[in-house]
Structure 1
Amino acid sequence: MKKMLVISCLLTLTGFFAQAQSKQHIIDSFVQALVKHQDFSGNVLVIDKGNIIYEHSFGYADLADHSPNRPTITFPIASISKLFTATAILQLHEQGRLKITDAVAKYLPQFPYADVTIRHLLSHTSGLPPYNAFFDKYHEKDPQRVFTNRDFLPGVVANKQPLVYKPGDNGNYDNINFLVLALIIEKLSGLSYESYIQKNILTPAGMTETVFFPLPKQFNTVAIQNFSFPHVYLHLYDSLPVKSNSIAYVKAYWHSYGFNGFGDYISTMRDLWKFDQALYRNVLLKQQTLSAAFVPVKLNNGENNRDEFGLGWEIEKDSSMGKLVYHSGAAMGLSANIMRNITTQQTVIVFDNMHFNAHETAGKIMMLLNNRHVDMPRRSIARMYGIALRNEGAVAAKALLENLQKDTINYYLSEDEMNSLGYDFMGNSNPYQLPEQHLYKQAIETLKLNVSLFPDSWNAYDSYGEALLADGQKEEAIKMYQRSIELNPKNDNAQKVLRQLLQ
């Protein structure tokens, strides 16, 4: 009987490890395909019922010196930091020092919006405008001034702005909500925000590799040991990204806006796992409190808020695999995500220091972990075409596109991406405030090709007409706008431009 029990246990363990190895292989194939198609650079950690199923690193922490990402490397978690802020507020709630339904003004008497509650802040349903609305005019007068949490309430009172909507009527994700929560934490605890998080969250969870390192320092420090630097592709036609902290506008912005509470921490994969474990063990919060945090907050009309936010956590709408709760983090040139299947005790942690798709990647890995089908990644033909057009010319670029179109297993062609590429060449959008660059020849070539590829698209003709007009080709532009209207008589923009051109 004992022998039979031992054999049974061994068979069970063997089956578990075989299944884990199979899942590991499937996940690895998916991530390797992302890397191959230049859609991932960073770290992945996958946990199933307390066991590591997959842990790997890819790409470079610093492209300039080719230092690699490693499983132990520290990276910015950006808005995942909001989970620490939310946890702190929920701890104060458990201690009876505040109620989630309380008005913010009860704890911050200067706060000039009487109807905004703590629940509104946690669920991003407050209607508060972004902090720029209060401080940009001061920043324009004194670009060297640094704004911190101490400046927030005086600045809001002195330059009060209207709410975007009545609190609870709608939802929009904004950092200002967690800046205000950080002020409440400091007011009730008597500690600085950093000290409270360290004492009541990081230390109890054993998170020794998670450090308070605010965004102004992250984007204004050149040399950081064991750190994965964010990198950003400035254009769709760029073959390589640049360090985000090399962009003057990014550095200047984060030099000025030094607010805390929403994006201040750097961490490692294993340390975020410790946070995950501490939540499962109820080290930081009671289970009853967590369960309440994982329910989408209702709007005034009784519907769930748009982004399905609970109390600090976002809840995935699709519950077919179990209840998925998560939080993403993103900044200039990086994205991160921690996704937890609290039904099956599975966790996926993803960090990418060159792309903005960590949430999408984490979601697909969670699907693979639960034996769901996921299409293998394919590479964007539009991006490859743009790089070739910029560096090798129109003939070579078109030949490349036509060749890649034949391989639908590894490549895909998107009308929208070709359209975006054309606008990128035009140089109308300049979010990083770089020196203006208008590559009209390449823009026209791209959008002309897009029309031939998608001849029934009114939008393709509209965009092509805009590029022709920008290049001074009025007569040709008129033809394109006319064709766009033929395909879509409701294209009001084209009709307006056409009237002006024909006058």
Structure 2
Amino acid sequence: MKPNKPIFFIALLFFLNSCNKQDKKNTDEVLVDSTAFVNPYEVEFDSLDPEFVENTKKDIDFFYNKHFGNQYSGSFLVAKNGEIIYEKYSGFAYKEKGEVIDENTPLHVASVGKVLTATCILRLVDRNEIDLEQSVQSILPTFPNQETTVRMLLNHRSGLKNYAYLFENDKSWDKKQPITNQDVLNLLAKNDDILERQPGKYFQYCNTNYVILALIIEKITGTPFDVALKSLILDPLEMHNTFVFKDLNEKEHVSQSYKGNYKKLDWRFLDQTYGDKNIYTTARDLVLFDKATYSDNFLSANIKEQMFKGYSYERKGTRNYGLGVRLLEFDNGKNYIFHTGWWSGNTSMYVTLREEHVTFIAISNKYTRKPYEIKRLTKLFSDNFSFNFK
């Protein structure tokens, strides 16, 4: 029997139409999937005026030559709106091997690394995996003080003693044996005298706080600190030249620390703890981090408000500390946000001018206080703060 032609053609049209719809659906799915590769922390700033950039470069170059000069060993960078205006690299990462410093050379930023440690904690707070008012003891059961909270560690109001002094005075510890973060917690757990001050009452800057914070990050994430840092910050922001140093057996594979005369400094038993220090990074990677802090997807607006405010008002003055950052609080209501670093021969300074979207970074591995002078550049970008440019 011959097929009914009208019915056949209607069926054929229905089939073709269905194929077209399926093809369109598949195409739509591909288009939707492609958006997964968009950086969720990208921040759009206004483009900089070329004339402004050129004039500012000249001023910064004058400043650099006057205050840093040819003897400086390290990195120096100024950025605005996420755009690098000026950068300079000089000196040796490992002088004895002839390894020079360039834009991709990770240097030890000492206590500037506390900003990254704190940000790991704050990202976990944003994810509701931890609470700022949570007792440290509820996370690390062997931690000996029930009153101490996560926030107190972040803003240095825990009252804890510096672990370096505790180990120096511990006659049972072999000073040739490097200590670990867990060793710090173990020493606190067995020591009856771990407090300098009552928790929550006074500000006292103390590296012990950030060693413990690194352990908290490990406990909450179930991963080592370096893995957690990569997952929470480094990989999402493509900070490919940043890492945690946590094994003294690898000391020949990182940049070295020097005295001002380029005499290499010895490594010590205190050089293996992390969270308080031992993050190696570049100025360019820190710019990527700084830019991301303007994104409410990276850190919520609420958590940034808590991060960039002061908590210590026992004494009058401009100096204060937020959650992982230092502050200068001026009478005009403006806060100058920064962090300094010093460990062995490594000195560093990171400044973030929030209203002006400006970043200053200076890192040196040959002892000098020059990185701290970078704050003088503030005058080129803001009238809110009183620093002498010259």
User: What's the CA shift string for 1:141-189, capped at 9, x where partnerless?
Assistant: 5233332122233321222314111122222211100111112122222
User: What's the CA shift string for 1:76-103, capped at 9, x where partnerless?
Assistant: 1222221222112112222222221222
- 2:263 is aligned with 1:230: no
Change (3 A) 1:125 1:230: same
Match of 1:332 among 327, 337, 344: 344
User: What's the CA shift string for 1:296-335, capped at 9, x where partnerless?
Assistant: 0145x5x689841111111123476954312222211121
| Separation in structure 2 between the aligned mates of residue 308 and residue 222 of structure 1, nearest angstrom | 37
Change (3 A) 1:199 1:324: same
| Separation in structure 1 between the aligned mates of residue 331 and residue 371 of structure 2, nearest angstrom | 16
**Is the contact made by 2:111 and 2:341 (CA closer than 8 Å) also made in structure 1?**
yes
Q: Counterpart in 1 of 2:17?
A: none
- 2:248 is aligned with 1:210: no
The worse-fitting range, judged by mean Cα deviation, of 259-268 and 138-147 is 138-147
Structure 1: 5+ residue stretches without partners: 1-11, 234-239, 377-503
| Separation in structure 2 between the aligned mates of residue 223 and residue 258 of structure 1, nearest angstrom | 14
| Separation in structure 2 between the aligned mates of residue 316 and residue 16 of structure 1, nearest angstrom | 29
Q: Counterpart in 2 of 1:221?
A: 251
Identity within the alignment, %: 25
**Is the contact made by 1:334 and 1:353 (CA closer than 8 Å) also made in structure 2?**
yes
1:290 shift after superposition:
1.0
**Is the contact made by 1:58 and 1:69 (CA closer than 8 Å) also made in structure 2?**
yes
| Separation in structure 2 between the aligned mates of residue 319 and residue 65 of structure 1, nearest angstrom | 50
| Separation in structure 2 between the aligned mates of residue 150 and residue 110 of structure 1, nearest angstrom | 11
1:137 shift after superposition:
4.6
Match of 1:297 among 304, 308, 311: 311
**Is the contact made by 1:269 and 1:349 (CA closer than 8 Å) also made in structure 2?**
yes
User: What's the CA shift string for 1:117-160, capped at 9, x where partnerless?
Assistant: 21111011111001134433546552333321222333212223
| Separation in structure 1 between the aligned mates of residue 127 and residue 252 of structure 2, nearest angstrom | 42
Change (3 A) 1:31 1:66: farther
- 2:254 is aligned with 1:241: no
Change (3 A) 1:135 1:321: same
Match of 1:349 among 361, 366, 374: 361
- 2:261 is aligned with 1:252: no
Trace 1:304-453 onto structure 2 (pairs within 5 A): 307-318=319-330, 323-370=335-382, 374=388, 376=390
- 2:214 is aligned with 1:182: yes
User: What's the CA shift string for 1:323-364, capped at 9, x where partnerless?
Assistant: 431222221112112110011111111112223425522211
Q: Counterpart in 2 of 1:28?
A: 61
Q: CA RMSD in A?
A: 2.8
1:375 shift after superposition:
5.2
**Is the contact made by 1:322 and 1:343 (CA closer than 8 Å) also made in structure 2?**
no
Tell me the amino acid that sits aligned with residue 74 of structure 1.
Answer: P
Tell me the amino acid that sits aligned with residue 363 of structure 1.
Answer: K
Match of 1:17 among 47, 50, 67: 50
Q: Counterpart in 1 of 2:82?
A: 50
- 2:301 is aligned with 1:280: no
User: What's the CA shift string for 1:383-426, capped at 9, x where partnerless?
Assistant: xxxxxxxxxxxxxxxxxxxxxxxxxxxxxxxxxxxxxxxxxxxx
- 2:93 is aligned with 1:61: yes
Q: Which has the higher contact order (CA 8 A, sep 6+)?
A: 2
Change (3 A) 1:96 1:334: same
**Is the contact made by 1:298 and 1:305 (CA closer than 8 Å) also made in structure 2?**
no
1:53 shift after superposition:
1.2
Tell me the amino acid that sits aligned with residue 287 of structure 2.
Answer: W
TM-score (norm 2): 0.79
1:64 shift after superposition:
4.2
Tell me the amino acid that sits aligned with residue 231 of structure 1.
Answer: Y
The worse-fitting range, judged by mean Cα deviation, of 41-50 and 141-150 is 141-150
TM-score (norm 1): 0.62
Structure 2: 5+ residue stretches without partners: 1-45
Q: Counterpart in 1 of 2:156?
A: 124
What SS class does the counterpart of residue 354 from structure 1 fall into?
coil
